[in-house]
Structure 1
């Protein structure tokens, strides 16, 4: 081993160097709290979609607890697939996986029309297709310009905003829907989330949603709005059961889920790039991008087998990595192990399931709005010329207009009409086609990657 004093970089900060190495392992005294912090940052976002889908399919309290349990368990396994990797699968970066709100605009109407087995079957197939997408990612990255990805992310947030408000009112069908108590409780959660986000720092700031949910939950208990009967009946320990609801494979559901999986895969590409740029100070490697997207697909198919919604990389954890500069994948591996442990104890799922809808709604207003804000930020990366404005105009008109005029989708054949109902699928298709076909696409958006240093030098020499 060479003497560090003879290093050509004697002034380099050794701690920062270790932190920027994905393969480095910090001391357990630091790694465990950092891993727990990652889990707390994503916990609310991971358990809320299963609760929402449970309400759509009319699940009872026991089924809701089960859906939360498997969501936690699957998120833990999927996270390990990303951080540890299996052959070419997995980015081997600190990526936290979990269920995503991005799938809800398609999953909710499919669940209403066909039931949860169809959503799971479509997710299983879509996951396999995403594995193929990851394998050929380098060849097709030029399809995904900022204007396309930004429109899709923006519409995901817009589509989910009414869901958050309905939950804030107490949940559709509840006897006290839109009561002052529900609305004030949701407002309280919203205020706490905003206050913690603005006044907190580091771990506290990143966990503002969790603090808002906790404060709202405690307030709901004090107001007598929480029923713990089902929590008492839940088991202390249980192994998640695969294929509890079975799978069905209607073509419409497969098409819709495959398209949204394609779109959410774009978010994964962005998240991986942000991790390496903000945490490791370099561009993402093709192997990391390809492995990360393939791991997304494997995790989604695995999630379908274990009765939960598709899994994807969590954007909120990217902020933690950028903030701390700790890009060790082993830190997130510890977080994944914690998720698995929580998924084996249904009592925890019962505790979350008892949370009133108004509490979730108050946090949902923030979370869904932030998704739309992220879409706007992505759109700003492209030049907003007349060409880009035309793509945005057509896509948003379809994405927002079609769900508002249900008569259009109802007059079309059943399966086609169902795909138009959410608005997101036709908007995504329109954005992709227009961006590919309209002349004048900016040169910097035609390629999937920045030129390498060698290529840049050759270009300069030719000039």
Structure 2
């Protein structure tokens, strides 16, 4: 329910209304707290997949801090594009942008075990994929027909399924610890379980800001627990703090630029999914906050901002950005539609991104603690996909489409060696699982007629006797 002390009901539904500063600042920071963990986690996961050393004395430590720093900085910049707008770029709505999980199944195979050298191709793909994403704004409304809930729900579900393994690995001790006696120890799992239990407790038994920031607070409690049991020391915190600069600007093309066909195709394909997700978020904001449908200009502007934000981030070593759905729910909960509130949150993110010491503190969080939060977040991605699939008309036609796409996509994720003889570009795209599943679902949905005869389209739940006969 909206707080009428902030403004009248009409004002609260107006994106251009500015609440009193004493109210607007906490509301803006609340948006940051709701998305903060999800925003910086992809940078840590990509760094881990690339084989970065995670200790504060590691030679990769400055690079890891920089990736975290760019995640915060360009989430803020992309959010400003949405709220302040730049010509036709931006929806002029309270849309919070952040680093997208959707691209992780594409990014992880690109950098797996290759270290810093692999980042040039990754960010080259981000730049070109972001420009492609920007161009989608010109005709986003015309391609929505090809991406019904059957397709988008499948893709979102597979994104979560592709990432749940990462959460378990982190909770057990992280990829570098695989095969060691410490991997999967009771101590490691205890830290992850503390985070999970606290997160669930706050999410279901608390209200307001405590519930909204459940994952963040769960990580804080897990961090304190890790300090108590010796998983992190004050000496390590001090070393991280001292090695990080007090202020640093982003560096253009810090990791170079390399054209990788696999990266460009992967980022472009996922941009379509991200664009459709943004359309849903824009519609959710206008319905939940203002009780109306989103306009064509708002949807196009939001898509432009998605793409431009991703391309600009890639120039400086930032990952692809997209609208964050958790903040859509926050707007519906608070009833405050003001874009200027989210602008305040964006400025706070930019400030954090310019101060590497913030990233240094984040990096002292043990991987096991982060694993507890990641398990919850990636599980929620799967749940979101299942929720989208609940809107599907489950006749035999749609079940066959879903079955084939899921079997091929998930099967290639689980057994990448099955396509080891393909060229590198095709192999990376196929083993992501997402792209083959999405292509199969889109193509079959477009070419298979809706009416395949009564037997083919009759609801699965009816028309059968006790022995499976008609």
TM-score normalised over the length of structure 1? 0.90
Asked if the contact 2:195/2:222 (under 8 Å) is kept, the reply is: yes
Q: Which residue of 1 aligns with 2:3?
A: none
Write out aligned runs for 1:178-197 (5 A): 178-197=184-203
Write out aligned runs for 1:271-420 (5 A): 271-420=281-430
Among candidates 174, 180, 203, match of residue 171 of structure 1: 174
SS of equivalent to 2:175: coil
Among candidates 6, 10, 16, match of residue 9 of structure 2: 16
Q: For residues 168 and 441 of structure 1, do their structure 2 counterparts lie closer, same or farther at Cα, with a shift above 3 Å needed?
A: farther
Q: Does 1:121 align with 2:127?
A: no
Q: For residues 441 and 172 of structure 1, do their structure 2 counterparts lie closer, same or farther at Cα, with a shift above 3 Å needed?
A: farther
Q: Does 1:144 align with 2:147?
A: yes
Among candidates 203, 213, 217, match of residue 211 of structure 1: 217
> 1:398 Cα deviation (Å)?
1.4
SS of equivalent to 1:101: coil
* Equivalent-residue separation in structure 1 for 2:409 and 2:163 (angstroms): 12
Q: Which residue of 1 aligns with 2:104?
A: 104
* Equivalent-residue separation in structure 2 for 1:225 and 1:231 (angstroms): 17
Tell me the alpha carbon deviations over residues 94-153 of structure 1, each in whole angstroms, 9 at most, x when there is no partner. 011110111101110011267111110011001100111111112222122111111110
Aligned length: 430
SS of equivalent to 2:176: coil
Asked if the contact 1:74/1:306 (under 8 Å) is kept, the reply is: no
Tell me the alpha carbon deviations over residues 68-89 of structure 1, each in whole angstroms, 9 at most, x when there is no partner. 1111111111100010111111
Q: For residues 197 and 14 of structure 1, do their structure 2 counterparts lie closer, same or farther at Cα, with a shift above 3 Å needed?
A: closer
Q: What runs of 5+ residues in structure 2 fail to find an aligned partner?
A: 1-5, 53-59, 453-470
Q: Does 1:36 align with 2:29?
A: yes
Aligned-residue Cα RMSD (Å) equals: 1.5
Tell me the alpha carbon deviations over residues 218-238 of structure 1, each in whole angstroms, 9 at most, x when there is no partner. 111122222222222211111
Q: What runs of 5+ residues in structure 1 fail to find an aligned partner?
A: 1-12, 443-463
Asked if the contact 1:435/1:441 (under 8 Å) is kept, the reply is: no
* Equivalent-residue separation in structure 2 for 1:71 and 1:406 (angstroms): 30
Q: For residues 349 and 14 of structure 1, do their structure 2 counterparts lie closer, same or farther at Cα, with a shift above 3 Å needed?
A: closer
> 1:441 Cα deviation (Å)?
7.4
Q: Which residue of 2 aligns with 1:455?
A: none
* Equivalent-residue separation in structure 2 for 1:441 and 1:251 (angstroms): 38
TM-score normalised over the length of structure 2? 0.89
> 1:208 Cα deviation (Å)?
0.6
Q: For residues 190 and 301 of structure 1, do their structure 2 counterparts lie closer, same or farther at Cα, with a shift above 3 Å needed?
A: same
SS of equivalent to 2:98: strand
* Equivalent-residue separation in structure 2 for 1:266 and 1:139 (angstroms): 11
SS of equivalent to 1:135: coil
Tell me the alpha carbon deviations over residues 257-276 of structure 1, each in whole angstroms, 9 at most, x when there is no partner. 11112112111111111111
Asked if the contact 2:171/2:192 (under 8 Å) is kept, the reply is: yes
* Equivalent-residue separation in structure 2 for 1:263 and 1:441 (angstroms): 27
Tell me the alpha carbon deviations over residues 328-372 of structure 1, each in whole angstroms, 9 at most, x when there is no partner. 100000000000111111111000011100011001111001001
SS of equivalent to 1:102: coil
Q: For residues 379 and 299 of structure 1, do their structure 2 counterparts lie closer, same or farther at Cα, with a shift above 3 Å needed?
A: same
Asked if the contact 2:253/2:316 (under 8 Å) is kept, the reply is: yes
* Equivalent-residue separation in structure 2 for 1:49 and 1:323 (angstroms): 27
* Equivalent-residue separation in structure 1 for 2:77 and 2:150 (angstroms): 33
